[in-house]
Amino acid sequence: MNFDFDTETAEMRDMVVRFARRDLGDGTAAHDPEDFRRRWQLAGKQGITGASVPAAYGGSGLDAVTTAALMEALGYGCPDQGFAFSVAAHLFAAVMPITEFGTEEQKQRWLPSLASGEAIAAHAITEPEAGSDALSLRTRAERKGDAYVLNGSKCFTTNSPVADVFVLQAATSPGGGFFGLTTFVVAAGTPGLTVGPRYDKVGLRGSPMADVYLTDCVVPAADVLGEEGSGAGIFSSSMKWERTCLFATYLGAMQRVLDSTVEHAREREQFGRPIGGFQAVSHRIVDMTVRLESARLMLYKAACGLDAGSDDEIAPALAKLAVSEAAVQLGLDAVQLRGALGILGGEAETFLRDALPSRIFSGTNEIQKNNVARALGLGGRRSRKLRQR
Ligand SMILES: Cc1cc2nc3c(=O)[nH]c(=O)nc-3n(C[C@H](O)[C@H](O)[C@H](O)COP(=O)(O)OP(=O)(O)OC[C@H]3O[C@@H](n4cnc5c(N)ncnc54)[C@H](O)[C@@H]3O)c2cc1C
């Protein structure tokens, strides 16, 4: 076991931190789609938007551990956590499914522009009536000759207001459970696909999000990703990437906020000495450090599993749980330790608002716990032994 990054990875992290601080803005400006795309293209030039895409398709060809390191550096250097989240959602929920399940033709068609930062992707599964219960989604895809006709609506779709490509889940066999869903790759501007107004969110404000509507949207059968009925499997695979590498952006953001909190505790004086000298303050900071370090270890362990080709879904679920819970608690602690300054819209308050949604997206923390409990044999149904008693 080795907990150190090699020199090349360490240099890449430093480079990404410098780039993010210099070029990605602090997230305080009002959302401007043109500026968003300008920053996206810059991130593309740095190899960030296609970090885990193979070099043969224009990506950086990084493994999961190195991709996580890059994402952590992005979160550390970029105070606009919404922007970092958007880049990560593009890469892990939309681009990686094309990378892993696309045909050669699909990969050649979509990946170079998605990796280079020229194009932005969105992934849409959630619907008004199907959130945690994603398998019961209502968007229908009916086969008509060489195409499918899609009808339905999606909500909370990250990047949809600016997306060039949509990776969409629809039911080809309604009620078919795990094998009832199919994934489609649909270009923006396809007749029948429209995007609603951008949401105004309390957190991750730099990440544009809207609803997506499908009305008699005709998609060629050649644009099915994987095979008909393989949508849930593709979704599960992308969630392993998301629950691991996307959450690495939060590790970086937590480290940034922790660093500035330590600085504040060293400098702010009350009762004639720095507040960091009071045990209640210093212990709170040590607790923040323990949570961050534990979450980081769990996340990199999950990334190692991805690189080893493990089909374990528990390590990514545990990483997601650990990082998001640590993030929310760290945000609360960072606000508390700044006193009234903490609620005046600075770094700690912004981070707390950005941390809250992390317990919800990529499958809520309650759903992750259900999945882990099931893996522990706590499925809810009484075992035959118990029933016989
Ligand atoms: C910032 C952000 C970005 C997002 N981006 C995308 C995106 O790009 N694409 C996309 O498709 N979706 C996206 N989503 C949607 C996200 O996937 C859903 O919000 C999430 O799956 C939960 O669904 P829901 O909001 O409908 O909550 P619900 O499913 O209605 O859940 C409400 C509450 O009930 C709990 N609950 C539900 N069922 C159970 C159960 N069986 N056991 C225990 N508790 C349960 C939940 O844990 C939660 O606390 C995003 C969400 C957020 C916040």
Which of 156, 195, 207, 366 for mutating ligand 1's site (highest number of atoms within 8 Å of CB)? 156
Q: Is the CB of 106 under 6 A from ligand 1?
A: no
Q: Is the CB of 358 under 6 A from ligand 1?
A: no
- The sign of the dihedral angle between the CA atoms of 293, 298, 299, 305 is positive
Using an 8 Å Cβ cutoff, are 186 and 141 in contact?
A: no
Strands (E) in 264-345, as ranges, are: 269-270, 273-274
- pLDDT tens string, the chain, 389 residues long: the values are 888 899 999 999 999 999 999 999 887 778 899 999 999 999 999 999 999 999 999 999 999 999 999 999 999 999 999 999 999 999 999 999 999 999 999 999 999 999 999 999 999 999 999 999 999 999 999 999 999 999 999 999 999 999 999 999 999 998 888 899 999 999 999 999 999 999 999 999 999 999 999 999 999 999 999 999 999 999 999 999 999 999 999 999 999 999 999 999 999 999 999 999 999 999 999 999 999 999 999 999 999 999 999 989 999 999 999 999 999 999 999 999 999 999 998 999 999 999 999 999 999 999 999 999 999 999 765 555 544 44
Active site residue 242: yes
| Alpha-carbon span 335 to 172, nearest angstrom | 47
- Structural domains of the chain in order of their starting residue, each with its CATH number: 7-120 (1.10.540.10), 122-232 (2.40.110.10), 233-375 (1.20.140.10)
Q: What is the residue type of 80? A: D
